[in-house]
Amino acid sequence: MRLSHRIIILLFLLIVSRLGITATNPTFEIYLTENKTDNLHKAILNKKPIITAADIISYDWNKHEIVLTDAGKRKLPTVEDIGVHGRSFIVVANGVRCYMGAFWTSLSSFDHPDTVINIGPYWDNRPANIIRIERAYPSDKIAKGADKRNNRMIYEALSGLNKIIPKMDQIRISK
Question: What is residue 175's predicted lDDT score, i.e. its pLDDT?
Answer: 39
Flag the least confident range among 14-18, 38-42, 46-50: 14-18
| Coil, helix or strand at residue 160 | helix
* pTM score: 0.80
Does residue 32 belong to any structural domain of this protein? Answer: yes
Please check whether residue 99 is in contact with residue 43, taking contact to mean a CB–CB distance below 8 angstroms.
no
**Residues with Cβ within 8 Å of residue 98, at least 6 apart in sequence:** 90, 91, 92, 148, 151, 153, 154
Helix (H) or strand (E) holding 97: strand 96-104
Does residue 120 belong to any structural domain of this protein? Answer: yes
Does residue 20 belong to any structural domain of this protein? Answer: no
Total domain count for the chain? Answer: 1
Domain, as residue range, for 156: 25-167
pLDDT, tens only, 10-28: 545 445 445 444 447 999 9
Does residue 134 belong to any structural domain of this protein? Answer: yes
pLDDT, tens only, 75-128: 999 999 999 899 999 999 999 999 999 999 988 899 999 999 998 777 677 888
Does residue 103 belong to any structural domain of this protein? Answer: yes
| Nearest by Cα to 148 from 112, 122, 124 | 112
pLDDT, tens only, 127-173: 889 999 999 999 999 999 999 999 999 999 999 999 999 754 443 43
**Residues with Cβ within 8 Å of residue 162, at least 6 apart in sequence:** none
Question: What is residue 6's predicted lDDT score, i.e. its pLDDT?
Answer: 57
Supply the mean pLDDT for the chain.
85
Does residue 90 belong to any structural domain of this protein? Answer: yes
Between 175 and 3, the higher pLDDT residue: 3
Does residue 4 belong to any structural domain of this protein? Answer: no
Does residue 106 belong to any structural domain of this protein? Answer: yes
